[in-house]
C-alpha cells in the first residue's frame, strides 16, 4: 500500500499548474473563486483555451481528441483546476452526449458532432427531466412520432441547465407508448433553432437564471438525429449514468472551499478571538475537514481500482461529496454571520461597484448556499443514490 503519487504524476501536476498559471484569465479566476455569476462567453472562453491545449476532454479516447491521460492524471487535472479556480467545462457536451455518440452513434454523427463539442461550436444541454418524470425518469411523456424522414416531437422538458445558451439538446423521447416504459424510449439530438422549440426561464431560489423549461410543439427532427436504435434510448442513458466515476465527489473544489472557510474563520471575530478558535465552530470545521480527508482517500481507492469498469461506487461519492459541498456552503455562511445577508445582484453579475454593501467577500455567500441545495437533488437525488447502493452494491 502506497498512497503517494508517482514521480511521473507529480511532474504532470507541475505541468498542469504551470499551464493554469499562464493561461487562466484573472477575471475568470476572480469570478469563480468568489462565486460570481459566469456569462456564456466566460464558459466558452475557458473551454477554448483548454481545447487549444488539447485538454478539454480528459475522458475521451485519443482517437477522438482526448489527451490519453491515466485516471490518476485525470484526477490531478480536476484537482488542480479546482484549486486554481477555473470555470467548469460544461459537462453536457463533453461528458454526457459525447460518450453516448462515441459508443452508439453513427459515423456521420461522430464525424460531425464530436469536433464541434471539442471546439465548443455547439453548446449542448440535456433534455431528460420532465414535470412528471424526475426520479422516475423512465415515465417521461415527450413523444416522437415518425413521419417519413422526420420525428415529430411534442412535450416538455424541465430543469434544463443553461438551455438559454444552447445550440443543441439531447433528449429522451417516447417512441413506443405500448411497451414497458423503459423499452419505448429513444435518444434524439435536436437543434435548438428548430421551429416549435420555446425556452422559458425558471428562476431559482438564489434568483439566478440557471435552468429552464423547454417546450416542444410539433418539432420536426431528422431521423438521422436518432442515436443508435429506436427504443434503445434507456440503455444509452444508463450507459451515461455509469460513465461518471470520481469527478462527482468534487474533492478538489471542496478542498479549495475548506481553505476559504478556514481563512474566513481566521479573520472573523467571536468573543474577541478568531472564530476558528471558538470550540463550537472549530469542532464543526474539524469534523468537516476529517470527512473530506476520508472522502479524498475513498476517491483515491476508487481510482486505484481504475482497471475495473466504473460501478455503483460513484453513488457513495455523489452522496458524501454533495453532503460535504453543502456543509461547506453552510459553514461559510455561518462564518460570515449577518454580513452574509445583504443581497447585491449587480455585484454577482460582475459590477465592481457595490450597490448595497461594501464588503466583497460576503455578498455571494448566501446565494451560493441556497444554490447548492441543488447538488443533493440533481444527477439522481441522494435518495436515488441510496437506492442504487442498496440494490446494486448490497443486493437488497
Partner 1 sequence: MDFEFKEEQLQLADALKRWIGRDYGFEARRAIVASSAGVSEQAWAQLAELGLTALPVPEEQGGFAGDAVDMFVVMQELGRGLVVEPYFATVLGAEFLRLGGGHAALLEQVATGELKLACALGERQSRHDMRDIATRAEPAGDGWRLSGEKKVVLHGAQAGVLVVSARSAGGQRDKDGVTLFAVPAGAPGVRITEYRMLDGQRAADVHLDGVQLGADALVGAPGAGWQILEAAIDYGAGLLCAEAVGAMDALFAATLDYLKTRQQFRVPIGKFQALQHRMADMYIHLEQARSMAMLAAVRLRSGNAAERRQAVSAAKYRVGQAARFVGQQAVQLHGGMGVTDELPAAHYFKRLTTIELTLGDADHHLARFMAEAS
The catalytic residues are 244
Q: What is the per-residue DSSP string for 182-226?
A: GGGEEEEEEETTSTTEEEEEEE-TTS-EEEEEEEEEEEEEEGGGE
Contact between residue 99 and residue 64 where contact means Cβ atoms under 8 Å apart: no
Q: Using CB under 8 A, which of 176, 208, 289, 330 touches partner 1?
A: 289
Q: Using CB under 8 A, which of 6, 39, 198, 269 touches partner 1?
A: 6
276 binds partner 1 per the rule CB under 8 A: yes
Contact between residue 249 and residue 243 where contact means Cβ atoms under 8 Å apart: no
Query: In angstroms, what is the minimal distance from the CB of 267 to partner 1?
Result: 14
73 binds partner 1 per the rule CB under 8 A: no
DSSP 3-state assignment of 311?
coil
280 binds partner 1 per the rule CB under 8 A: no
355 binds partner 1 per the rule CB under 8 A: no
| Residues in contact with 208: Cβ distance below 8 Å, sequence separation at least 6, in sequence order | 37, 348, 367, 371
Contact between residue 326 and residue 372 where contact means Cβ atoms under 8 Å apart: yes
CA distance 153 to 134: 20
304 binds partner 1 per the rule CB under 8 A: yes
Interacting residues with partner 1 between 367 and 396 (CB under 8 A): 383, 385-387, 389-391, 393-396
Using the minimum distance from each CB to partner 1, give the nearer residue, 108 or 280: 280
**Kind and range of the H or E run holding 48:** helix 40-53
Q: For partner 1, which stretch binds (CB under 8 A), given 151-159, 215-223, 233-241, 274-282?
A: 274-282
DSSP 3-state assignment of 283?
helix
108 binds partner 1 per the rule CB under 8 A: no
293 binds partner 1 per the rule CB under 8 A: yes
Sites of contact with partner 1 (CB under 8 A): 1-6, 9, 72, 276-277, 282-283, 285-287, 289-291, 293-295, 297-298, 300-301, 303-305, 316, 319-320, 383, 385-387, 389-391, 393-396
Amino acid at each position: 500500500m502506497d498512497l503517494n503519487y508517482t514521480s511521473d504524476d507529480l511532474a504532470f501536476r507541475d505541468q498542469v499548474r504551470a499551464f493554469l498559471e499562464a493561461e487562466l484569465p484573472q477575471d475568470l479566476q476572480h469570478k469563480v473563486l468568489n462565486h460570481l455569476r459566469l456569462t456564456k462567453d466566460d464558459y466558452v472562453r475557458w473551454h477554448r483555451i483548454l481545447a487549444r491545449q488539447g485538454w478539454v476532454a480528459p475522458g475521451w479516447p485519443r482517437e477522438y481528441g482526448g489527451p490519453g491521460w491515466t485516471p490518476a492524471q485525470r484526477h490531478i487535472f480536476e484537482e488542480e483546476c479546482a484549486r486554481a479556480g477555473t470555470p467548469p467545462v460544461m459537462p453536457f457536451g463533453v461528458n454526457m452526449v459525447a460518450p453516448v455518440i462515441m459508443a452508439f452513434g453513427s459515423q456521420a454523427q461522430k464525424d460531425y458532432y464530436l469536433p464541434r463539442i471539442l471546439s465548443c461550436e455547439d453548446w449542448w444541454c440535456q433534455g431528460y427531466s420532465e414535470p412528471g418524470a424526475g426520479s422516475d425518469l423512465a415515465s417521461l411523456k415527450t413523444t416522437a412520432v415518425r413521419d417519413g424522414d422526420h420525428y415529430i416531437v411534442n412535450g416538455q422538458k424541465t430543469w434544463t441547465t443553461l438551455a438559454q445558451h444552447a445550440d443543441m439538446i439531447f433528449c429522451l423521447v417516447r417512441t413506443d407508448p405500448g411497451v414497458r416504459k423503459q423499452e419505448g424510449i429513444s435518444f434524439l439530438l435536436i437543434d435548438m433553432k428548430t421551429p416549435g422549440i420555446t425556452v422559458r426561464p425558471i428562476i431559482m431560489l438564489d434568483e439566478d437564471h440557471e435552468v429552464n423549461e423547454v417546450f416542444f410543439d410539433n418539432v420536426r427532427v431528422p431521423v438521422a438525429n436518432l442515436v443508435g436504435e429506436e427504443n434503445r434510448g434507456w440503455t444509452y442513458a444508463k450507459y451515461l449514468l455509469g460513465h461518471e466515476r470520481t469527478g462527482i465527489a468534487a474533492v478538489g473544489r471542496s478542498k479549495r472551499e475548506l481553505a476559504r472557510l478556514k481563512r474566513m474563520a481566521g479573520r472573523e471575530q467571536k468573543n474577541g478571538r478568531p472564530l476558528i478558535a471558538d470550540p463550537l465552530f472549530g469542532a464543526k470545521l474539524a469534523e468537516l475537514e476529517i470527512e473530506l480527508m476520508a472522502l479524498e482517500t475513498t476517491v483515491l481507492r476508487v481510482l486505484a481500482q481504475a482497471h475495473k469498469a466504473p460501478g455503483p461506487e460513484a453513488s457513495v461519492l455523489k452522496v458524501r461529496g454533495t453532503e460535504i459541498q453543502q456543509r461547506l456552503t453552510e459553514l461559510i455562511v455561518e462564518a460570515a454571520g449577518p454580513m452574509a445577508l445583504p443581497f447585491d445582484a449587480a455585484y454577482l453579475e460582475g459590477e465592481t461597484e457595490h450597490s448595497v454593501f461594501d464588503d466583497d467577500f460576503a455578498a455571494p455567500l448566501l446565494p451560493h448556499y441556497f444554490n447548492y441545495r441543488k447538488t443533493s437533488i440533481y444527477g439522481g437525488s441522494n435518495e436515488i443514490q441510496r437506492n442504487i447502493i442498496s440494490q446494486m452494491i448490497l443486493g437488497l
